Structure 1
């Protein structure tokens, strides 16, 4: 299948390109320099020349805190940019996968959110990503919306790499213990997209690594796996703290665990447990230590 990937230089985009190529697909990965998704004419031009059978839309404005003071920038990329990709994909008859987020929910639930629960984003980032979801639904006839959470990968900066660095540098490290969610290894998510794309099981999917934890618990697991898998010397003493102790411009959801109802009822294979994803991340880092620095 001819597949075009937007945001191909990003954390998820790089793994999507690699995963689909290894699986035998003809992949064109485009970063911002080759495709400005906010330019409608360029989107039409690129799609008409590439004639993809499927588009995986990974490009996004993901700076959660910056979005609070840059709403126009967030909506330009996440809403208008997604509209442009949706229109261009529909014009060439391509399927579209849009990567969305747990931030479309308010984070106040006491049970995992299903795909059919009402959305209620509390941040500009979440609101702009939800607007992107609506653009996909309005302008595409063959679409998948895939919401994910707490993403970490081999390429680029992320929470896992930051904790590994701080664990080696800091004597004491405080991490919030009152936010609960599901970490997601980008390679596992890319493999799920690989499974989903050839089907016609269109709709909204929640796709994170299974299981859940707090950021504090996640950090403890990061340190354990780093010691065991790559022999890293972690000196920091890990301590729990509250969200209130570290206020941020954008409110963080206290609970963002997502139920994978659509995966189950569509009889698709679920993603591995987050601890297995984390362990595989460490194994993959050990194979190529330079990735730790990127």
Structure 2
């Protein structure tokens, strides 16, 4: 569909954070015929500039109105946010507010990406979408501000909270473990924070599914949803599985010693429990997240190639 008439029938989705893990996977996602993504990053739009955000949404794609916005861009430097409060709030709260207001005016839906950090992590079990929020730091509070702005904007919306995002791109825990493990035979990794790793590719597929449904079905469900890969693990347990699967592919391997969070202090406090319930997203959108071990295998296939032996043996 390259001619002008075909382009006029295309449904164009605006994606922010285009160079990040999630933005990269939204660009790589196999969108159905008739759909196209415009993924932008800071060089094309400063998320601190609310007037520019409003103009971009109102302007559409080459004069064609946007079909939807996926707001994936964010200030994700969790520790730095503790001392860079204004910027974190500008990007994580005011930018979603501007996007949602503009989407409401344009009568198009917005899918806002949020985080497990809106919870304090102070109990066991998976967090449900209706559980009370109580962020522990600036990052979580600013992301919650973005949620509230979207919820009260009047725009049709889906807010999707996620956690522990990893991929074959950018900076993330999987790539860090492979890099550090290549030169260190033994590593110390936090073993008392629980959660579910999330493949950026699997998350992108879920966001695309939701966005397209919101565009095509005026009665599509709206509200807050959770997406991560299925299954629970600690960071140390995740590291051990990374090295087990890496070794099966001829990659780096290291021994992992679990340590308490108290032995790895950081400026920002992390939730001890980041497990997210998938009940709402499965009920409303039929999305069943695959197991995190499977998602990890897909990432390592891209980074290292297929296993050289059966990793289940």
Same fold (TM over 0.5): yes
TM-score, reference length from structure 1? 0.93
Shift of 1:86: 1.1
**Which residue in 2 is equivalent to 1:29?**
39
Alignment of 1:214-253 (within 5 A): 214-228=234-248, 230-234=249-253, 236-253=254-271
Contact 1:43 / 1:84 at 8 angstroms: preserved in 2? yes
Structure 1 segments, 4+ long, off by >4 Å, are 20-24
CA distance in 1, matches of 2:304, 2:211: 30
Shift of 1:22: 6.4
Q: Deviations 1:59-92 (Å, cap 9, x if unpaired)?
A: 1000000011111111011011111111122222
Alignment of 1:35-50 (within 5 A): 35-50=45-60
**Which residue in 2 is equivalent to 1:210?**
230
Shift of 1:36: 1.5
TM-score, reference length from structure 2? 0.88
Q: Deviations 1:230-286 (Å, cap 9, x if unpaired)?
A: 31142x321111100011000111111011120232251211010010011111223
CA distance in 2, matches of 1:140, 1:58: 19
**Which residue in 1 is equivalent to 2:96?**
82
**Runs of 5+ unmatched residues, structure 2:** 1-10, 214-219, 307-313
Bigger mean CA deviation after superposition, 162-171 or 23-32: 23-32
**Which residue in 2 is equivalent to 1:291?**
none
Structure-2 change in CA distance of 1:202 and 1:20 (3 Å): farther
**Which residue in 1 is equivalent to 2:5?**
none
**Runs of 5+ unmatched residues, structure 1:** 289-294
SS in 2 for 1:282: helix
Aligned match of 1:173 in 180, 187, 210? 187
Contact 1:37 / 1:84 at 8 angstroms: preserved in 2? no
CA distance in 1, matches of 2:265, 2:46: 33
Aligned match of 1:52 in 52, 61, 66? 66
Q: Which has the larger radius of gyration?
A: 2
Aligned match of 1:285 in 296, 303, 308? 303
Shift of 1:116: 0.6
Shift of 1:126: 0.3
Q: How many residues end up aligned between the 2 structures?
A: 286
SS in 1 for 2:289: coil
